[in-house]
Amino acid sequence: MTVPTEYPFDFDPTYGMGLKELQAVVPPPAPEGFDEFWRNRYRRALSVDPEPGLRKNGIDHPRWHVFDIAYMSTGRFPIGGWLLLPKQGEIRRGLVVGHGYGGRDAPDLELPVEETAVLFPCFRGMSRSTRPPISPDSQWHVLHDIDKPDRYIIGGCVDDLWIAVSMLIALYPWLAGHIGYSGISFGGGIGGLAIPFDDRIDRGHLSLPTFGHQELRLKLPSIGSAASVQRYQKQYGNALKTLRLHDSAVAASRIRVPMLMSVALFDPAVAPPCQFAVANAIPRSGPGAKFNENFILDAGHFDYPDAASQDAILTEKVRQFFALP
């Protein structure tokens, strides 16, 4: 293990917890109306016509045809991104890929999947989906309408994921029931909230997932978007109702499809207890449970000596996880 022992922070990003202690973290109880809140959102999202648009991108790649894409999300919010289609073989699976809180400048052309249509949406307010008055800066984006549970930006980003699935099915109807999701950090948290309520998603990979155990997230010293939420709550004190409804650890306990989780022992941006609250919430029995796996990273959002070797192992696990039957 190469868990960092030197760092430039005034707090310990392990929070004094080892693997055993992290594996004992339990998700918080669901707030009243949690399931109804998300089911109602999902029903609204399903009623949206994504109005998909594609245009050939100038990227030349030996494996992929690359397209610029656009679709319409809830509230007539325009979403941009990219679509990769394989140059070899048929399109037999779909995959939606979320991004971190830095947004996305380009599609990942090295994804280890084959015969798969891969959609890279930019969630509302970021990268190709920027629109005033939403700030693309993570420390402000995460606060947008945080005092309004029904309008909080995070719920809108979950809508964007669901409608990305609708877009893939609109373009390639035979992919219904064969669409996966992969997301890191911010995208991992969005996936944790979205997957349990969308039975069109058949498996998911969440890496360093955000928004887990929101009350812990408010307490544990952090950098980035979590620190911004902490400052807001300290000043205004009106965010907790919204945050409890947008807790990816609570949502993850409702997941019933195979999941690959990659979670870190050290992370200054997404506290490991909050990541493990999501991973630990995923059921260990029932449909899909025998395929579930937690892959342990030494660190997240921070460089460390074994990063390349661990990433290589994880890449192979992702390849196998999303491999066609």
Structural domain includes residue 9: no
Backbone angles phi, psi at 114, to 5 degrees: -130, 155
CA dist., res. 167 & res. 62, Å (int): 25
Task: Supply the pLDDT for residue 284.
Answer: 77
pLDDT of residue 126: 97
Residue 115, domain CATH: 3.40.50.1820
What value does the mean pLDDT of the chain take?
96
What is the Cα–Cα distance from 160 to 171, expressed in whole angstroms?
16
Which pLDDT belongs to residue 166?
A: 98
| Distance between start and end Cα atoms, the chain | 34
**pLDDT for residue 241:** 97
Query: Quick check: 324 pLDDT over 80?
Result: no
Q: What residue numbers bound the domain in which 215 lies?
A: 19-321
pLDDT band (50, 70, 90) for residue 287: low
3-state DSSP of 68-79: EEEEEEHHHEEE
**Is 96 inside a domain boundary?**
yes
Domain assignment present for 3: no
Q: If pLDDT is split at 50, 70 and 90, which confidence band does 162 have?
A: very high
How many domains does the chain contain in total?
Answer: 1
User: Using CA atoms, how far apart are residues 203 and 293, in angstroms rounded to an integer?
Assistant: 12
103 in any annotated domain: yes
Judge whether 116 lies within some domain: yes
User: 49 in a domain, yes or no?
Assistant: yes
pLDDT of residue 291: 76
Q: 313 is written with which tokens?
A: 């192992």
- Report how far residue 16's alpha carbon sits from residue 23's, in angstroms, rounded to the nearest whole number: 14
What is the pLDDT, as a whole number, of residue 246? 98
In a domain, 213, yes or no: yes
What pTM did the predictor assign? 0.96
Both tokens of 319, joined, read: 């390849």
Tokens (6 digits) for 175? 């992919």
pLDDT category of residue 325 using cuts at 50, 70 and 90: low
pLDDT in tens, 223-271: 999 999 999 999 999 999 999 999 999 999 999 999 999 999 999 999 9
Summarised one tens digit per residue, pLDDT across range 123-160 is: 999 999 999 999 999 999 999 999 999 999 999 999 99
pLDDT in tens, 47-82: 999 999 999 998 999 999 999 999 999 999 999 999
